[in-house]
Amino acid sequence: MRILMISPQPFFEPRGAPFCVYQHIKALITLGYEVDLVTYHVGKDIDLPGLRIFRAPKLPFIQTVKAGPSREKVILDGFLFLTAFGRLLFKKYRYLHTHEEAAMMGIALSKIFRCKHLYYMHCDLPELIAGSGFVKNKLALRGADFAQKLMLRRSDSVVTFYPGLEETAKQIAPEQKVYMILPPPLDEGLPAGTEADAVRLRHQLQLGSGPVLLYTGTLENYQGLDILLQSVGPVTAEFPDARYVIVGGKPEQVEDLKQQAQKLGIMDRVRIVGQRPLEEMPHFQAMATILLSPRNKGTHTPLKLYTYLRSGVPILATSILSNTQILTPDVALLVQPTAEGLTEGALTLLRNPTLMKKLGSRARQVAEEQYSWPAFLEKNRKAYSEFQPLTK
């Protein structure tokens, strides 16, 4: 059985939402479905048996799409809708799956073409728009709130990606079928990093033999990289051989972060390496002493946390909802989202190897029990088996 999926993201790019789309496509295929994906013209093709990608028309003046709302996405979404409409004219689909704001398209298309509609809710839309600063007009924000209520109440089923989002969905649409499906680690199935990988990377990045504090992910403002950089000086004053490694980000973001590090006078203690292939993440984690999640705002749980937990490396994270929905004091050291908090947290861990070992061991155990690929697949199987039967 073939499903039509609409994804308003650059697919594929190594960041949160496209990773979620990829994982759910892979789960569907494993469960015996086939997927026709309608997505932006931006992104790298992925070769999965059972997946066909249909891209919206190429717009030469749009070559990248940043995370979060933007004018570019508004334009691209119009062409995305037309592409999906064309697919439904060409082929009959019984099931339509949409991600993020494409649920608005799904509401209309499912009625026109009489197919069932499952909505993947990645985030709280009004909160995301307000936090991004994309629009500040109160009327526009009320419009986003209305759209989210419509998407939740008019879909046939909803999948949410973290606990806070599930609660929001159930409050807005108490009669709706809402499933929370927490993702598996992004590096699930990849070989674990080895000591040789760690030695090679240390040599390549000129890190020496001291502690390595590693951050992986995007370099958006909400990730808290500014306060992380401010914590580097005080930490390395006590542990002068410690080095911070930051992996991820677009070239212009990398340059901006390097300028911030230069102004703070810490360039010799920080390595900002930009994006790396997913296949290399186990290598970086193999050399890490501490893994970092310094987010300073937001409620959306970063996907890297599932990978962090699985690694068994101790985690230092800010005590905000985006982290604490998954991380507890049993599996991570949680601190205030300030430079001082990150400083004290890093020093606490570096001074206490026993605590680091305890946190890392418990984190790995929780990952194996709750966030494995088999657990993810079983939750998907249940959601799809209840969604699949036609209502009439």
Render pLDDT for 330-375 as a digit per residue (tens, 0 to 9): 999 999 999 999 999 999 999 999 999 999 999 999 998 888 889 8
Q: Answer yes or no: are the C-beta atoms of 49 and 28 closer than 8 Å.
A: no
Tokens of 153: 């109440």
The lowest-confidence range among 147-151, 156-160, 374-378, 386-390 is: 386-390
Distances (CA, A) of 107 to 16, 99, 122, 191, 330: 24, 12, 17, 41, 42
Mean pLDDT estimate for the chain: 93
Q: Does the domain spanning 2-184+372-387 belong to CATH 3.40.50.10880?
A: no
Amino acid at residue number 17: A
Check the CA dihedral 47-379-222-365 and report its sign.
negative
Q: Answer yes or no: are the C-beta atoms of 311 and 293 closer than 8 Å.
A: no
Mean pLDDT throughout 316-327?
95
C-alpha to C-alpha distance for 215 and 272, rounded to whole angstroms: 10
Residue 188 has pLDDT above 80, yes or no: no
Question: H or E segment at 128?
Answer: helix 125-132
pLDDT band at residue 138, thresholds of 50, 70 and 90? Answer: confident
- Report yes or no on whether pTM surpasses 0.75: yes
Residue 149 has pLDDT above 70, yes or no: yes
Contacts for 327 with CB less than 8 Å, ≥ 6 apart: 293, 305, 315, 317, 334
Report which DSSP code applies to 221: G
Q: Do domains 2-184+372-387 and 195-370 have the same CATH topology?
A: yes
Q: Answer yes or no: are the C-beta atoms of 167 and 147 closer than 8 Å.
A: no
Q: What percent of the chain has pLDDT over 70?
A: 98
What is the per-residue pLDDT for 135? 73
**What residue segments make up the domains of the chain, in order of their start?**
2-184+372-387, 195-370
Residue 391 has pLDDT above 50, yes or no: no
pLDDT band at residue 189, thresholds of 50, 70 and 90? Answer: confident
**pLDDT, tens digit, for every residue of 232-246?**
999 999 999 999 999
Strand extents, DSSP E, 91-211: 95-99, 116-121, 157-160, 178-180
Tokens of 47: 């070769």
State the angle between helix axes of 304-311 and 353-370 in degrees (0 to 180), rounded to the nearest 10.
120
Mean pLDDT throughout 284-291?
96
Residue 392 has pLDDT above 50, yes or no: no
**Backbone torsion region of residue 81, taken as left when φ is above 0, otherwise alpha when ψ lies between -120 and 50, otherwise beta:** alpha
Pick one of 3.40.50.2000, 1.10.3470.10, 3.40.50.1970, 2.10.10.90 as the CATH number of 195-370.
3.40.50.2000
pLDDT band at residue 390, thresholds of 50, 70 and 90? Answer: low
Distances (CA, A) of 384 to 12, 110, 164, 293, 377: 24, 17, 22, 32, 10
**pLDDT, tens digit, for every residue of 25-78?**
999 999 999 999 999 999 999 999 999 999 999 999 998 898 888 889 999 999
